Amino acid sequence: MKLKTIIAAAALATTFIAPAIAQTVEVKDAWVRTSVQGQKATGAFMKITAKDGAKLVSGSSPVAGVTEIHEMKMEGDVMKMRAVEGGLDLPAGKTVELKPGGYHVMLMDLKAALPKDSTIPLTLVFKDAKGAESKVELKVPVATAPMHSH
Ligand SMILES: [Cu+2]
């Protein structure tokens, strides 16, 4: 019994000692949907894996006045979109996919059209279990894909 307690304590200590500077969040296959002149909003999509678990709490991009983390869900027959309260949960080691019809990074108040084959800077802010924030800077390619209805 005593030994068990010690082992548990040691495991806990290891978790806490894990260096905060290590990049523990990986973002893959990011893309943002093209937009035309006058269009106010578009979505960015990607696969995110947080090795130690984290939350995606916010984002920003110079091309958009407002950036939010959104989810789309069916409510009855209607697809509804809303901001994710308290950040998007990224369970440890599990890849969370942001995709059309589901979670996405919403870019609003677009300042210009986003043409195909251009790239945009996108900063994502993650929060770990202890509440420490880290940023990931991305260069996201602009691509076309089936419209995600808004
Ligand atoms: Cu949205």
Ligand 1 center–CA 42 separation, angstroms = 7
Rounded distance between C-alpha atoms, residue 100 and residue 119, angstroms: 19
Q: What is the pLDDT of residue 63?
A: 98
Could you tell me which residues are beta bridge partners of residue 140?
A: 120
pTM for the full model? 0.79
Residue 45 in any domain: the answer is yes
Ligand 1 center–CA 5 separation, angstroms = 47
Ligand 1 center–CA 15 separation, angstroms = 35
As a whole number, the mean pLDDT across the chain is 86
Ligand 1 center–CA 132 separation, angstroms = 26
User: Whose CA is closest to 120, among 30, 53, 29, 6?
Assistant: 30
Residue 5 in any domain: the answer is no
Residue 2 in any domain: the answer is no
How confident is the model over 4-14, as a mean pLDDT? 48
Q: How many domains does the chain have?
A: 1
User: Whose CA is closest to 110, among 70, 65, 44, 60?
Assistant: 65
Find the domain containing 38 and state its range.
23-143
Residue 111 in any domain: the answer is yes
Ligand 1 center–CA 12 separation, angstroms = 38
Residue 15 in any domain: the answer is no
Ligand 1 center–CA 105 separation, angstroms = 7
Write the burial class of residue 56 (CB in 10 Å: 0-12 exposed, 13-18 middle, 19+ buried): buried
Q: What is the pLDDT of residue 74?
A: 87
* Contacts for 37 with CB less than 8 Å, ≥ 6 apart: 112, 113
Ligand 1 center–CA 81 separation, angstroms = 6
Q: What is the pLDDT of residue 150?
A: 45
Write the CATH number for 64. Answer: 2.60.40.1890
Q: Is the pLDDT confidence value at 9 over 90?
A: no
**pLDDT, tens digit (0-9, with 9 covering 90-100), for 32-87:** 999 999 999 999 999 999 999 999 999 999 999 999 999 998 889 998 999 999 99
Ligand 1 center–CA 130 separation, angstroms = 28
Residue 93 in any domain: the answer is yes
Residue 3 in any domain: the answer is no
Ligand 1 center–CA 111 separation, angstroms = 17
